[in-house]
Every structure is written in C-alpha cells, then in structure tokens.
Chains A and B, each alone.
Chain A
C-alpha cells in the first residue's frame, strides 16, 4: 500500500513537472526567446524571463496566489496594497526622493522664460486614501510632500492645489481601482480647481456627454495583485455636447510622427493599457493639440502620466496646447529648449503626480 502511494506520488509529481515544462517550451508563445534576450541582454536573465512569461496559465497562478494570500490576511503585494476593494500603489519609506532637486530644475526653467508658469502636483490614490493604508508606510503624507515642494517654488511659479478637491471627492470615482491614475472625474475636479488660477471660465459637466469607453478594464496594478473580489474599472470620457474644439493632434517621437483629429484614441481600447485612450499615454516626446478657438492663449504642459486625462478639458480654452514629456526628452537625449520655444506660449503648466515627480531623475532635460 505504502509503495503504491509512493509510486503515485512520484509519477504524479514528475508528470505535472514535465507537462508544464513541455507546454512552456513548445505551446506558449507569449514572448519569443529572442525578444527576451534583446530586452534582458544576457542569456541567463533571458532564459529566466522566458520561462516566467511563457509559463502556462500564468494569470490563473497569479490569481490563485493572490487570493490565498488575501484569505490569510495579507493585503500587500510588493508595493501594491489591497484595501477597501481597490489596489493602491505605495512607494514606501525607502524610495528615492528627488523632490527638491526636481523643483530646482523647474525653477531654473522658469528663469528662462517670461510666460506665466503654474505647477500642479496631484496626489495619487495612496495620498487620498491614506487612511486605508498602514500608518508606518511613510514618514510624511503626500499632502506634506506636495506642500514642501510648493514651498521651494520660485515666486514666479503659481501652485495649484489638486489635493483638496480630490480628497473632498474621495467617495466618488476619482481614481481607478486597478491603475495608478486618476479617472476623468478625478481629472475634472483638478481641472475645476486649476481654472481659477489659470484665469479660465470652468466648463461645467452639464456641457459634456459622458461616454463609457470601456467597462471591463483591469489596470497594471491588477497584474501585481489579481484579487478575485475586485471590480473591473470603467473608463469614462467626456465629449462636448457641442462641436469638439479640437482640430488636429500632432504627435512626435524622434522621426515618428502621428496625426489625429481627436484627443481620444479608441484603438488603445484593444490593448491591455486601455487608459492610453487619452492621447496614447506616455508614448510621445511632444504632442501638439490645435483647436479652432481663435485668439485664445497657448498652453505648454510639462507632463507626467496624469496630464493626459486632464488635457481634454483644457481644449475648450486654448488655441494650442503642447504637451512635452521630460522623461521621453531625457531618453531621446533632447532638452526642452531644443523641442519647443517657451516664449511662444502664454502659460506653462507643470503637471505631475507627486509620486512620479519625487522619483523622477529626468528633469535636467528642462534646463
């Protein structure tokens, strides 16, 4: 009887191992070995990455792991926390903090132009829902970090408080549950706050038709923690009830250029990163949006990921909006002055979420 049990154990164990090994090598085509080798650079890392990515039923394994862990009481998965039906990315205590250094670069940029300059450092879900996270995660709150950054700003740069409006609306759908981004609603609250400072007349929500572009969206945080009970996100876009002011959108990334007639790119809904519906996410160094509003001012946005969702609201006020991504600038070896003429713009808005801003090491490209 014992021998029988032993034989069954050995046979079942190795059958499973061989089954999955064969399937990984011959039947899964998530990535090819040459792709992983190109990305990782060496064979050792590439082989490990190849096996990890091509392992059969990858999502089921991840889901099983997360759900067992949630059952045992765990709420943390790497830097992602599962709390109150949402996933929140938290940098923790030990992240590098370049806030002061980056503010200095922004100040230096301001010294090179006569245009009005504004800065909006938006909180992330970790800041707005900080009460749902363990206290020990950070020494200072996002609100304090944002205020500290604003205190260091040059007098010429006006700060825009996005924390308060988002915090006040925290019971609404202002952040995605599975992506580290604000929703169109969250962006709208920040927009209404910014219009006062920018000297604009707020366009109220009654002037927009709300459209559900996607209702089955699971963001990148969900890849880290596939918690079974979490609801999918929906992506809302706001379309003007009247004719859209956007005439043309031009995007540049090195030699690659792209033209469109809308700030919404529905083709992105076919991909995993559905939030790229807003101006295709962070793929381009520079994006020019031309509107048919004549004699309106021009706006330059030095952007982080959060900017794409808010830009559609600004199209009602400017004749031209240019977005420049300093990260892509840095990757391309370019500087801001080589990419745009600052004096062409009436207003310049630096718009980042505080996590990205404090971690960024690419702001030198602004000077």
Chain B
C-alpha cells in the first residue's frame, strides 16, 4: 500500500476523481478503490470483501425486520458467525503468513496471501449488524452506503475501526474543504514519515538485537532491543492509523483517533484504552458488554475479559506469539485488578514507570515466535549472559540514539504538546510552518521510498 505508486499516482488520481465526482458516485469510487487495492494485494481478498459486504447488508435488513422476534437473535448470531468465520479464515500474520490453521498445526488453506482489509471488514460488518439489532440505528437500505462503510479502504491497513452511525452522515454528504484536506495531508505525511523513518528504523534496531545469540546478549543491548520493539509496535500501528485519518480527511470524512499516547498509561487497563482505542472499544461494546449482559459475577467478568482479549489479540494476527502475549497480558490485568488499592496509592510517575517496566518484561512474548526464546531473552534482560554492556551496546546506542530520542519525544507526547500548543496555536507561524512542514515531510518520505531501503519492511504491521 505504501510506495511511490501509491503516493504519486493513486493518491492524486483518486483525490481528483473523488473531488469531481457527483455525490452518488463518490461511494462507488471508494468501494471500487478498495476493491482495486485488495485485488492489487491478492484477488482472493475479493471473496472476503464480498462475504462481509453481502452478509452485513443482507443480515442488517433481515435483523431490522425481525429484531423484535426470536429470529432476530438467531440472525444476529448467524451474521457474527459468518463474519467471524471469514475473519478466522482470511486473517493472518504479515510476519510469516501463518493463520489460524497453521497455529493449530494444520496446513493453511490459503497460501502466500497477504490479504488487505481482513482485519477490518468483518469487524465493521459485525458492528453494523449488532447495532441494528440493538436498535442503535435503523439499517440502511442503500446497499452502496453499507458497502462503503464495511469496505472503507483508508482503514484497511490497521484501522481505526469505524462506527456506522458516526460516519454515516459524512459518507452521505462528504464535505471536502481546504481545512480538512490540509489536515488530511498533514496526517498522511506524518503517518508516512512515522512508518518509513521511525517504525522501519526501530524494526531494524530490533532485528540487529534479535540476531545476536541470547547467550552472549548483554543486558543493556537486550533492553535497547525490547525498547525498540515497543516503539516499532506503536509507531507501525499509529503510522497506519494516521495515514487512514489523513486519507479519510481528504475525502471529507473524520475518523476517530486511535492512539492516545499509550506509553504514558498508568496501568494495563489504561493502556488498553489508549492503545488502538477503536479495537478496544469494539471489543468492549460487542463482546465484553454482550457477555456481561447475560450474567453477573466473577466468572462472567473473567470470561468477558478473556474472550475480549483473545479477539483483540487475534486482530493483531494469528500466531502463537499473539496467543502467549495475550495470556501474559491477561495475567497482568488480573494482577492489576487484585492489587488495585495499593497501586492507586502510588504517585502517577511511579505507576507509569512500573507499567512500562512490566510491559517491557512481557513484550518478548510478542516479539519471538517461540515462548522459550522469549523466556531466554527476558533472562538476558536481567543479566542472563553475565554481561551488562559491551561494544555491541555502544554501537547500538551510538547508531540509534537520535531515533530513540525522537521516539521518546513523540510517544511521551512532548513533541505533540510543542506543535499543538506552541507552533500551531500561533496563526501567523502556522501559516508559514504548515506548508513547509508538509513539503519537507513529502521530500524526505520520497527520498526514503526512492532509495528503496525500506522495501523489505513494508507490510509488517501484523504479528
């Protein structure tokens, strides 16, 4: 999805067509572009697109008609089953292409497919059907509108997951303005910059550390490595979310923020609310609350959290690493719940540091395919190799110091504060800086794309 072709050809052509198209054509154009992108990645993805759109639209209509009757409940269950089955079948990791079948030791049905939108369309379709059943809104009889929502291509890569009632009006009457377009371009370029300059570099740093045999890995290098992995995870996903917001804004549609400085969280529950918020909200609204409605008590609580977490982790890809990391994360959530009172007494900075420390300790489970390797890596973080610092640590520190500082500034919210409060709050300064900033980002991103150095790290946003 990211490349010179996308930036220099797809983007201007699509934007121009979108601008000149009459209202009723715009939705078709969005749908066609989404289908084109899926087809470009792998035509097999069109099956998933068809299943999600058709099931969403048809079940939506039927559920609307039968929602007062017991059949409504059956229909909503069917819609969830169909979409979730499609999700399980088509979704996979970008790392090694593993899917649900490979995780349970079987041979994958769909080989070598990197499906675009597999993490988004089933979630949109389920959200639409459940909301219609819950009478949050009535179903839309315009097929193209529902289809546009379910297959809204700007969010294909890594969300955010949208809600139909919030984007419906803007999809019906998209209002493209200079302000929205400029904001869209700014977000798009910022996302591209995060992906190409920061995320890819952090991934390289992580790869450098991962390549060192654990038995000789100094503790400092291990901590640098896992910090790089943490930054990579955050910047990779938030970069795609920024790009999605930017593209949507160019189309006159506002999409919700997906990341709220997650590494400033004071605990694991807080982290869930800040990291990829729309996935969290989706799991809370459609899984956690649904289970909670059917029963009370600790067992129900635990079941609701567990299933929500499993689905949330599956969203990041089907692999053993997501399952194991999910379990470790669950353990942390339970501990936090049990120790809620003493933890609340701690000062906020201490809570933040404690959370970050614990997150770093469990992150190797997400970073390694094998849990044993992760355990060995965690041991190295605590001096398992009996070496604290060596020339490798110095090399890593020297080479990537500036990048790590940039990551710290952005993820801690300092750079955001400076830009929003000090630079973009001044209208005159903003007039000059905004175009210069955008063009500078465009020039730099183009330089990275032309150099091709990032080619091998293009589609690694799923684990």
Contacts and interface: CB of A to CB of B under 8 A. Distances in A.
A137 to B, nearest CB: 8
Nearest to B196: A65
Interface string B98-122: 0000000000000000000000000
Contact of A5 (B8, B399, B435, B447): B435
Contacts of A48: 3, 5
B450 to A, nearest CB: 4
B172 interface: no
Contacts of A93: 211
A6 B211 contact: no
Given A72-B403, A77-B453, A13 B5 contact: no
Contact of B401 (A44, A73, A77): A73
B15 A14 contact: yes
A24 B3 CA distance: 14
B431 A134 contact: no
Contacts of A61: 446-447, 450-451
B17 interface: no
B439 A3 contact: no
A318 B439 CA distance: 63
Interface string A66-88: 10100011111110000000000
Given A2-B427, A68-B447, A21 B452 contact: no
Given A1-B428, A20-B8, A135 B450 contact: no
A5 B12 contact: no
B333 interface: no
Contacts of B448: 65
A134 B391 contact: yes
A6 B450 contact: no
Interface in A1-37: 1-10, 12-14, 16-18, 20-21, 24
Contact of A58 (B12, B392, B443, B450): B450
A55 interface: yes
Nearest to B8: A21
Interface residues of A, number: 46
Majority secondary structure, A binding face = helix
A16 B442 contact: yes
A151 interface: no
B178 A17 contact: no
Given A17-B7, A72-B403, A134 B392 contact: yes
Given A17-B12, A139-B213, A9 B4 contact: no
A5 B391 contact: no
Contact of A73 (B181, B400, B452): B400
Question: What is the interface of chain B mostly: helix, strand, loop, or mixed?
Answer: helix
Interface string A278-312: 00000000000000000000000000000000000
Interface in B433-463: 434-435, 438-439, 442-444, 446-448, 450-453
B182 A6 contact: yes
A41 to B, nearest CB: 16
Contact of A64 (B212, B427, B434, B447): B447
B431 A76 contact: no
A21 B439 CA distance: 16
Interface in B204-252: 204, 208, 211-213
Contacts of B9: 21, 51
Interface in B1-40: 3-5, 7-9, 11-12, 15, 40
Contacts of A65: 444, 447-448, 450-451, 453
Q: Which of A1, A13, A74 has the most CB atoms of chain B within a 10 A radius of its CB?
A: A13
B179 interface: yes
A47 interface: yes
A136 interface: yes
Contact of A136 (B5, B15, B208, B447): B208
A24 B444 CA distance: 18
Contacts of B419: none
A52 interface: yes
Contacts of A3: 178-179
A44 B4 CA distance: 13
A47 B5 contact: yes
Given A21-B12, A51-B9, A55-B450, A5 B434 contact: yes
A55 B12 contact: no
Contacts of B181: 6, 10
Contact of A51 (B4, B398, B451): B4
Contacts of B443: 64
A58 B4 CA distance: 12
Contacts of A248: none
A135 B390 contact: yes
A302 B182 CA distance: 62
Given A4-B431, A61-B446, A65-B447, 20 more contacts: A2-B179, A2-B427, A5-B430, A5-B431, A7-B182, A9-B434, A10-B181, A13-B185, A16-B442, A17-B11, A18-B12, A21-B12, A51-B4, A51-B5, A62-B451, A68-B444, A68-B447, A74-B201, A136-B208, A139-B213
28 contacts: A2-B430, A2-B431, A5-B432, A5-B434, A6-B182, A6-B183, A9-B185, A9-B435, A16-B439, A17-B11, A18-B12, A20-B8, A47-B5, A51-B3, A52-B452, A61-B447, A62-B450, A64-B447, A65-B444, A65-B450, A73-B398, A73-B401, A74-B399, A76-B204, A77-B451, A93-B211, A135-B395, A136-B395
Interface of B: 3-5, 7-9, 11-12, 15, 40, 178-179, 181-183, 185-186, 201, 204, 208, 211-213, 390-392, 395, 398-403, 427-428, 430-432, 434-435, 438-439, 442-444, 446-448, 450-453
List of 10 A-B pairs having minimum Cβ-Cβ separation, nearest first: A6-B182, A61-B450, A65-B447, A5-B431, A65-B451, A6-B178, A134-B395, A9-B182, A64-B447, A9-B435
